[in-house]
Amino acid sequence: MSTLFSHFFEKINQISPLEAKYTEVLGTIAVMPKMLYYYGKIPQKRAKTVAIVGSRHNTRYGEEVAYQLGYTLAKHGVIVISGLAYGIDSIGHQAALDAGGTTIAILGTPINEIYPRNHRKLATEIIDTDGAIISEYAPGTKVYPKTSFLERNRIISGLSDIVVVVEAAERSGSLNTATHALEQGKEVFAVPGNITSPYSQGCNKLIRQGAFPYTEPDDILRELFPEEFLARKKKCYLKGDTDVETLILNSLASGLRSGEEIMASTKLPPEVFNQSVTLLEIKGRIRALGANAWALN
């Protein structure tokens, strides 16, 4: 056996899903796994997690989208989860690794049977960077691939906060993951694709059925970190057309209301202040409260 992969078989860890903060969310899904067998490290606390799933036979378009998303999410501290399969799954895993992030792979085979075998090196990298390879199947368990890979999809979606389907044919297993996610009350995003491409038929169908269209990583980050995006939006909103307008807007945001307080804070002369607040009111950025007091609109 190759030394590179020998540590796969040194020690198999096992845990009930309810024993760990990160996995206890699986207690809410329809069929909770009785036990999880794993290599690597399961996060000690619940962390934002996004599933990136899709076709095993991806296009260059799908590769670019999956890699950009996985890399960006990992850079923001989001755990990327997928199924270690060829195509979109492995691209999502690799992108997270390249970003220095954490990624988790859920197998549809017994824990000691890394599948596909060509992804043993990828699995090693996942483990070596504090990620995890997880299966609900103990060593020696007889599984039926036609059902076991579909069964593991409920775990991928169950551990996720959001599922993103990058590319999927009309009868793709990724659609099964999306179905589980919807049943579990998770949000599903799908990447819009070329209407003539068979690899986008499943995604386009999901969007017709109500999935959110994915257009950029911010679509996902906005859902995961709404307060951060609200602050970013507010910061953007408080930028005026001139430096003086920006000073006034930020003074109002800090709680100041009266013209005298704002002029004292910004050291603006009365004529400049009066001209600027008039323009800001015309632009709809602020509103007059009376008695030389103002507020953000």
Report the 3 state secondary structure along the chain: CCHHHHHHHCCCEEECHHHCCCCHHHHHCCCCCCCEEEEECCCCCCCCEEEEECCCCCCHHHHHHHHHHHHHHHHCCCEEEECCCCCHHHHHHHHHHHCCCCEEEECCCCCCCCCCHHHHHHHHHHHHCCCEEEECCCCCCCCCHHHHHHHHHHHHHHHCCEEEECCCCCCCHHHHHHHHHHHCCCEEEECCCCCCCCCCHHHHHHHHCCCEECCCHHHHHHHHCHHHHHHHHHHHHCCCCCHHHHHHHHHHHCCCCEHHHHHHHHCCCHHHHHHHHHHHHHCCCEEEEECCEEEEC
Position 21 scores a pLDDT of: 97
Other beta carbons within 10 angstroms of residue 187's beta carbon come to 17
Instruction: Look up residue 265 and give its amino acid.
Output: S
Position 250 scores a pLDDT of: 86
| pLDDT tens-place values along the chain, 297 residues long | 344 455 554 689 999 999 999 999 999 999 999 999 999 999 999 999 999 999 999 999 999 999 999 999 999 999 999 999 999 999 999 999 999 999 999 999 999 999 999 999 999 999 999 999 999 999 999 999 889 999 999 999 999 999 999 999 988 889 999 999 999 999 999 999 999 999 999 999 999 999 999 999 999 999 999 888 767 666 656 788 999 999 999 888 877 789 999 999 889 999 999 999 999 999 999 999 888 888 887
CA distance 211 to 90: 23
Instruction: Look up residue 280 and give its amino acid.
Output: L
Say how many residues make up the chain: 297
CA distance 131 to 41: 6
Position 4 scores a pLDDT of: 44
Q: Where does the chain hold its CATH 1.10.10.10 domain(s)?
A: 238-296
> Closest by alpha carbon to 220, among 91, 88, 75?
75
Residue 5 CA: distances (Å) to CA of 85, 104, 107, 124? 18, 17, 17, 7
CATH architecture of the domain with range 238-296:
Orthogonal Bundle (1.10)
Position 3 scores a pLDDT of: 41
CA pseudo-torsion sign 141, 147, 148, 151? negative
Position 10 scores a pLDDT of: 67
Position 165 scores a pLDDT of: 97
Structure tokens at 48: 């934002």
Position 256 scores a pLDDT of: 78
Q: How many Cα atoms are found within 13 Å in the side-chain-facing hemisphere of 71?
A: 11
Position 2 scores a pLDDT of: 40
Domain 3-226 has CATH 3.30.70.100: no
CA distance 133 to 38: 5
Position 190 scores a pLDDT of: 97
Query: ω into residue 116 within 30 of 0, thus cis?
Result: yes
Q: Where does the chain hold its CATH 3.40.50.450 domain(s)?
A: 3-226
CA distance 218 to 224: 10
Structure tokens at 51: 């599933």
